[in-house]
Structures are given as structure tokens and as C-alpha cells.
Amino acid sequence: MNESVFAIENEVKPSIEGAWVLESYKVEDQATHQFIPAMGEHPTGRVIFTSDHRINFVLTGDNRNKNATTDAEKAALLDSVIAYTGKWSLKENQWCTDVEAAWNPKWVGTQQCREFHVHGNTLDVLTPWRQMPNWPGTTRSIITFKKDI
């Protein structure tokens, strides 16, 4: 047997299981290829992949109004959060989530897939081009997480 083929067949692929902390979040506009500050300069977030294939994903924008009292102020908070949970599975270099609950009710009952690459303690994520309810136009997100060790 060719040893190099054997090495590839037995190669251990990096796992996405565990807790990951947001390192950076960029949103690219498809029409202009410019990056838009959709979640501000310093968003926060975390994604957790459990061993029983549950996912919890939360991103929040910076400078959120902690004193929101009016209906308009409270409604504006939805534009600075992305959150969903469900069951995750792997398809080559994608994780796909069967969404059970989400900040956007249109996602419930859908499958959301994300391209990912693990490099040591870094998880790089690229979403497909899509229309988000939080900002105008067709965009994709480029997200980097660090393993929470």
C-alpha cells in the first residue's frame, strides 16, 4: 500500500467540538465587495459545539443600548444580534445546523450551512452570500473564532 495514501486516509481532521470565542467579524457587501461595519468594530460572540451535536451560536454588536426603554430602542437591538441553536452535522468542510430556535423566526425549521476551516486553535468561518434581516443587500460574513481553552 502506498504510505502517503495511508497517511491521508488516517489523517485526524481537526474537531470543531467545544467552545469558541469570537476573534473577528466582517461582513462583505456582494455588490461593492466593501466591508460594512454591520456589528461595529468590536462585536462579541461565541459558538459552542457539543459532543451530542447541539450548537449554540450568539454574536452581538458593540455599543448596544443598555438602557433601551422605548419600543424603537428595543427593536433596534435586534439589528445587533445573531443567535440560533439546533442540531449540527458535518458535510466535508461545512457544518450545517437544523435550526430549532433563532433570533430571526424565518430561520426556524431551515438548515443553515457554513464553510469552515480549523487551523490549530483558530476556526475560520465563511457564510454563503445571503440576505440578512439585520442589514440591506446581499452579504456574506467572514468570522474568526479562537478555541476557548
pLDDT in tens, 15-69: 899 999 999 999 999 999 999 888 999 999 999 999 999 999 999 999 999 999 9
In-domain check, residue 67: yes
Band the pLDDT of 149: cuts 50, 70, 90.
Answer: confident
The pLDDT, as a whole number, for residue 29 is 95
CATH number at residue 106: 2.40.128
The pLDDT, as a whole number, for residue 12 is 58
Residue keyed to cell 461565541: 46
User: Rounded to 5 degrees, what are φ and ψ at 6?
Assistant: -60, -40
Least confident among 51-60, 113-122, 133-142: 133-142
Beta strands in the chain (DSSP E): 18-29, 35-36, 44-49, 54-60, 81-91, 94-102, 111-119, 122-126, 130-131, 138-147
pLDDT tens for each residue of 85-102: 999 999 989 999 999 999
In-domain check, residue 8: no
In-domain check, residue 10: no
Nearest Cα neighbor of 25 from 42, 9, 46 is 42
Q: What range does the domain containing 25 cover? A: 17-147
Number of domains the chain contains: 1
In-domain check, residue 56: yes
Q: Mean pLDDT over residues 68-97, rounded? A: 95
In-domain check, residue 5: no
pTM for this prediction:
0.86
In-domain check, residue 9: no
In-domain check, residue 1: no
